[in-house]
Amino acid sequence: MRNLDLAPLWRSSVGFDRVFDLIDEASRWAGEDNNYPPYNIERIGEDQYQISLALAGFARDEITITAEQNVLTVEGSKSDKGDRQYLYKGISARPFRRIFSLAEYVEVKNASFEDGLLKIELVRELPEAMKPRQVAINHSGEPRSIEHKKAA
């Protein structure tokens, strides 16, 4: 079962376009090499996340991080420095492009590159209007009466 038919879900739901797009996108990427570069996604707090990519052999200036509207893209391409003749080349240095879909209100806060690990810190910051709030309950000892205007 390679192809997932989402037509029944499209017909009976409203407002889930982003979820369906994610499912469709994930099914398209399933056939490609999703193992390079290796990465971890960690939850380091209630609304804090960290993506770590193992980028051995890459320099800081050979990596590009782009964050735009719910999509985080990490790209890398090795610049060929000098004419080297390898007897054996086991360290992969092929170009890569890794795309991460981000939930709404998730923002990239920081990125660091140290010891061959690229770490990207993400934070989910809900706007004040979206955060839960408590509503005070007014109490009065007397029942309220509703006044009506008499018809003329």
C-alpha separations of 89 from 57, 59, 92, 139 in Å: 12, 18, 7, 77
Instruction: Please check the confidence at residue 40 and state whether its pLDDT lies above 70.
Output: yes
Residue 136: inside a domain, yes or no? Answer: no
Please check whether residue 62 is in contact with residue 37, taking contact to mean a CB–CB distance below 8 angstroms.
no
Of 130 and 121, the one with more pLDDT: 121
Domain shared by 64 and 95, yes or no = yes
Identify the bridge partners of residue 28 per DSSP, sorted by sequence position: none
DSSP letter for 138, please: P
pLDDT at 110 (0 to 100):
94
Do both 38 and 103 map to the same domain? yes
In the chain the first and final C-alpha atoms are separated, in Å, by 74
Confidence of residue 28 (pLDDT cuts 50, 70, 90): low
Domain CATH for 64: 2.60.40.790
Is 46 inside a domain boundary?
A: yes
Burial 110-131 (b: 16+ CB within 10 A, else e): ebebeeeebebebeeeeeeeee
Rounded mean pLDDT, 13-26: 67
Instruction: Looking at the structure, tell me whether residues 74 and 112 fall in a common domain.
Output: yes
pLDDT in tens, 58-100: 889 999 999 998 889 999 998 776 677 888 888 777 899 999 9
**Boundaries of domain holding 105:** 34-80+90-128
User: What tokens appear for 17 in the block?
Assistant: 């376009």
pLDDT of residue 118: 96
Q: Span 12-29, mean pLDDT?
A: 65
Model's pTM, two decimal places? Answer: 0.66
In a domain, 66, yes or no: yes
